[in-house]
């Protein structure tokens, strides 16, 4: 029982650190560049390809696809972006957010404490000089360090899980099912509002040998679906254009995930080839799966964006605004 409690404590503490770190990092980077984000989106979204590039770059800089998506929804709500432009940004935001998973899969967690220390020093310098950008930069570095520390804490549970007969039986029974993984990933990401946290936990579980690659892929696919929950919540009571953008984001991730699940073996093979081509080992498979999935989704949807936009407009028509019954 003590082992189970220790495992739970590490999982809760590690997950909380991961979520807090990701949120602190993305919020700080967002504050540093919020005024620039809207300018970039307003200026560099002339067509869907340019919108994709803009969405990717901005998300890499802010480390939050949710923030970029919500800003995009607010801009389409105010008439600053068309639905086609917003869809391109959504494609790019999904690609840009995979950089966080790449950070997690590197050996950076070993330097988590040094990164936190560097962030504290930077923040102190920002307070001393009264430069807000430096202060927010320090907060972002602290967030990165806390996120990586969360990965470390989650990893502490692996040896105990391997020794626990109950845990091993649990993962032996459920850790090979990609469909269960998809459902779990969707629910977990929707509840904690952090796709990065779900990906981080998946990396730890897979690298620790507790789940196989197909189950890990299921978690990654579910993670992409679950992240749409925040967007849907944000558009309750919003305008039709904003709701269309939210549904464009949601259905894009759902359709892409279901296609990948149907062709799971081919998708798995593609990720492994991609990893080998980069000269990387299996510890990078999960991060690469997250990247490859979002790249392939964009490549598949890009030629059909015009038709996808028309489908979303049909799905969420303006007639919903018509008031029924007069007098």
Concatenating the DSSP letter of every residue in 7-46 gives HHHHHHHHHHHHHHHHHHHHHHHHHHHHHHHHHHHHHS-S
Give the tens place of pLDDT for each residue, 44-85.
Answer: 677 888 889 988 988 887 777 777 877 787 777 777 788 888
Q: What's the pLDDT score for residue 165? A: 65
Look at residue 325 and tell me if it is in a domain.
Answer: no
Q: Specify if 322 maps to a domain.
A: no
pTM across the whole model:
0.81
pLDDT at residue 266 is higher than 60: yes
Establish if 250 belongs to a structural domain. Answer: yes
Report the domain count for the chain.
1
pLDDT at site 273: 95
Q: Output the pLDDT for position 220.
A: 92
Query: Distance of CA 131 to CAs 26, 95, 123, 137, 297, Å?
Result: 19, 31, 10, 10, 40
* 3-class secondary-structure state, position 233: helix
Distance CA 142, CA 118 (A): 8
Residue 323 falls within a domain, yes or no? no
* Residue-level pLDDT at 31: 76
**What gap in Å lies between CA 295 and CA 284, rounded to an integer?**
16
Mean pLDDT of 220-239: 84
Mean local confidence (pLDDT), 111-139: 88
Best-predicted range by mean pLDDT (125-134, 233-242, 246-255): 246-255
User: Residues near 10 by Cβ (< 8 Å), separated by ≥ 6?
Assistant: 153, 154, 156, 157, 160
In a domain, 326, yes or no: no
Is residue 327 one of the residues assigned to a domain? no
Task: Measure the CA angle with vertex 167, ends 164 and 172; round to 5°.
Answer: 120
Lowest mean pLDDT segment, chosen from 46-50, 136-140, 250-254, 286-290: 46-50
- φ, ψ (nearest 5 deg) of residue 102: -65, -40
Q: What count of other Cβ atoms lies within 10 Å of the Cβ of residue 5?
A: 9
pLDDT at 108 over 80: no
| pLDDT-derived band at 317, boundaries 50, 70, 90 | confident
Question: For residue 322, what pLDDT is reported?
Answer: 43
- DSSP H or E stretch at residue 225: helix 213-226
**137: in domain:** yes
pLDDT at 321 over 70: no
pLDDT > 90: percent of the chain: 28
Q: How far apart are CA 42 and CA 199, in angstroms?
A: 31
DSSP character string of 161-180: HHH-HHHHHHHHHHTT-HHH
Quick check: 19 and 13 in contact, CB under 8 A? Answer: no
Residue matched to tokens 């990247």: 291
Containing structural domain, residue 161: 2-317
What is the tens place of the pLDDT at every residue in 148-194?
888 888 888 777 776 766 666 666 666 778 898 899 889 888 887 77
- Residue 327's pLDDT is 39
User: Is residue 324, in this structure, part of any structural domain at all?
Assistant: no
Q: What is the pLDDT of residues 189-220, one digit of tens each?
A: 888 777 777 888 888 888 888 888 999 999 99
């Amino acid at each position: 029982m003590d082992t189970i409690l220790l495992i739970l404590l590490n999982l809760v503490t590690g997950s909380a650190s991961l979520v807090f770190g990701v949120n602190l990092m993305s919020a700080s980077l967002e504050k540093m560049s919020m005024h620039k984000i809207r300018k970039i989106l307003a200026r560099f979204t002339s067509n869907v390809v340019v919108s994709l590039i803009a969405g990717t770059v901005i998300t890499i800089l802010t480390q939050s696809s949710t923030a970029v998506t919500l800003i995009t929804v607010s801009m389409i709500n105010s008439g600053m972006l068309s639905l086609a432009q917003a869809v391109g940004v959504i494609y790019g935001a999904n690609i840009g957010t995979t950089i966080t998973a790449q950070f997690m899969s590197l050996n950076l967690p070993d330097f988590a404490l040094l990164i936190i220390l560097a962030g504290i020093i930077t923040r102190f310098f920002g307070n001393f000089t009264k430069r807000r950008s430096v202060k927010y930069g320090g907060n972002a570095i602290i967030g990165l360090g806390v996120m990586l520390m969360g990965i470390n804490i989650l990893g502490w549970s692996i040896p105990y899980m391997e020794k626990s007969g109950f845990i091993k039986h649990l993962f032996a029974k459920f850790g090979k099912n990609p469909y269960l993984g998809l459902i779990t990933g969707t629910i977990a990401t929707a509840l904690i509002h952090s796709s990065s946290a779900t990906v981080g936990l998946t990396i730890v579980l897979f690298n620790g040998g507790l789940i196989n690659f197909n189950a890990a892929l299921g978690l990654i696919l579910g993670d992409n679906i679950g992240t749409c929950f925040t967007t849907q919540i944000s558009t309750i009571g919003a305008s039709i254009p904003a709701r269309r953008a939210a549904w464009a984001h949601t259905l894009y991730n759902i359709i892409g995930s279901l296609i990948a699940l149907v062709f799971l073996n081919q998708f798995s093979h593609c990720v492994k080839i991609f990893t080998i081509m980069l000269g990387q080992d299996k510890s990078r498979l999960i991060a690469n799966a997250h990247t490859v999935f979002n790249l392939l989704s964009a490549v598949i949807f890009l030629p059909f964006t015009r038709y996808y936009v028309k489908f979303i407009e049909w799905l969420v028509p303006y007639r919903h605004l018509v008031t029924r019954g007069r007098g």
